[in-house]
Structure 1
Amino acid sequence: MATDLTVELVAVRHGITAWNLERRYQGQQDIPLLFPDAEDGLLALRDALVDEQFDAIYSSDLNRCQQTLAWAEVAKANVPLSLEPRLRELDFGEYEGKVYDELKDLPHYRAWIDSVGELQIPGGESAAQLRERLDAWLHDLATNGRVDGHKKILAVTHGGVIRELRRRFETIHFWDGTVLQAQGRRWQLIYQQDEHGKGEWQCSSSSAVPALANATP
């Protein structure tokens, strides 16, 4: 395989919502940010990204991500912005709006937990379906990167999406991939394509956003 493209991808989770504080499954419900609770995290994220220059920005089309993007103040007139449904949170179906205590005794919920999120949620998605739409988005990222020269990309998305991306790029366990609201990850990625046109993303490094105070420069 020949190296075709190198990309720095920064993926951040939206700020705090009321359902986050109540520990409700939000999924694809269009829940807005909660103020003033969300403000500290959003300001810290803004400070972390203030000097960043992105070639392209993608955001989940749900309101809480668009609000987070607006607070981050990174969108510029000459930077393409795409509202991307494929960056939505996992569809939690019948679990959306509910908390653990309302679900813990349901056999299908226990089976979903035991499957480490792999089973399809009643009325919702499976982890494989989430990965499938992320695969399609990553393929487009490679295509756009080659055509338009995108080298540094911001994605404003959801906790479940970042968890799946971490599982892919950092090869960590599902339960270890959690990121807090208004935080995220930075990946240095290499896209390689073989002679048959089949491509694959590989990660050369990963770090926290905002950077950890004790991180090595």
Structure 2
Amino acid sequence: MATDLSVELVAVRHGITAWNLERRYQGQQDIPLLFPDAEAGLLALREALADERFDAIYASDLQRCQQTLAWAQAVKEGVPLALEPRLRELDFGEYEGKVYDELKHLPHYRAWIDSVGELQIPGGESAAQLRERLDAWLHELAMNAQQDGHRKILAVTHGGVIRELRRRFETIHFWDGTVVQAQGRRWQLIYHTDEQGKGEWQCSFSSAVPALANAMP
């Protein structure tokens, strides 16, 4: 018998790091937040989430996401928290720690840019590999939500992950899916399971986190 599961997913990007300001590819390097630069964004995120109660929280296991989650103060007593390697940033391989000017003349870098991120980065991942691990995470999220009654879920993750989720749920171009540090997106999702047991996510609504000042009520 076909069934549907309704879930609200809030995904936020970690706060500012030194490598963000230097415009270096961070990827899966375990770079901490930069203070005091990160503080204003983190406080705004805390305020935006202050009145929200989540049924489950997932977070990348890299420290910049752990620090962001601690500042957001979203973890309440009894709410399960999972540190999730599948929510890590795209592995930028040989590009990690480098800036555009160090890479722009390399043929494989130009080819990667021209492929809209689809090619595999030398020593790193392709967009397809990122999608594969996100598919696995989203399937597990659905299974946990069905089993434990999770209806509102927070994910603290990275810019490339949110960009990929926006492409999936909002059907926008990959390069248009950027969110700045300590901000994110809110999606109202339906997980539809057909009679053969195959599940598929569909998005009915999306908005910015924190909410835009000029957004309609």
Please tell me the TM-score bracket, short chain as reference: over 0.9
Residue of structure 1 in register with 2:71 after alignment: 71
Counterpart contact for 2:3–2:194, Cα < 8 Å: no
Residue of structure 2 in register with 1:140 after alignment: 140
- Listed as ranges, the matches of 1:1-217 within 5 Å are 2-217=2-217
CA separation in 2, counterparts of 1:67 and 1:29?
15
Counterpart contact for 1:3–1:190, Cα < 8 Å: no
Quote the sequence identity (%). Answer: 88
Counterpart contact for 1:11–1:154, Cα < 8 Å: yes
Q: TM-score, with normalisation over the residues of structure 2?
A: 0.99
Deviation at 1:142, TM superposition (A): 0.6
Counterpart contact for 2:58–2:81, Cα < 8 Å: yes
Superposed CA deviations along residues 6-44 of structure 1, whole A, max 9, x for unmatched, are: 000000000000000000000000000000000000000
Superposed CA deviations along residues 105-153 of structure 1, whole A, max 9, x for unmatched, are: 0000000000000000000000000000000000001100000000000
**Structure 2: stretches of 5+ with no match in the other structure:** none
Deviation at 1:176, TM superposition (A): 0.5
Counterpart contact for 1:10–1:154, Cα < 8 Å: yes
**Structure 1: stretches of 5+ with no match in the other structure:** none
Deviation at 1:76, TM superposition (A): 1.2
CA separation in 2, counterparts of 1:73 and 1:3?
34
CA separation in 1, counterparts of 2:117 and 2:134?
16
**SS class of match (1:34):** coil
CA separation in 2, counterparts of 1:52 and 1:148?
19
Superposed CA deviations along residues 137-178 of structure 1, whole A, max 9, x for unmatched, are: 000011000000000000000000000000000000011000
**SS class of match (2:34):** coil
CA separation in 1, counterparts of 2:153 and 2:118?
28
**SS class of match (1:188):** strand
**SS class of match (2:197):** coil
Deviation at 1:2, TM superposition (A): 3.7
Aligned structure 1 segments of 4 or more residues deviating by more than 3 angstroms: none
Deviation at 1:77, TM superposition (A): 2.0
Q: Which amino acid aligns with 1:77?
A: E
**SS class of match (1:206):** strand
CA separation in 2, counterparts of 1:122 and 1:135?
23
Counterpart contact for 1:190–1:201, Cα < 8 Å: yes
Superposed CA deviations along residues 162-210 of structure 1, whole A, max 9, x for unmatched, are: 0000000000001100000000000000000111110000000000000
**RMSD in angstroms over aligned alpha carbons?**
0.7
Q: Which amino acid aligns with 2:58?
A: Y
Q: Which amino acid aligns with 1:91?
A: D
Tell me the number of residue pairs that the alignment of Structure 1 and Structure 2 aligns.
Answer: 217
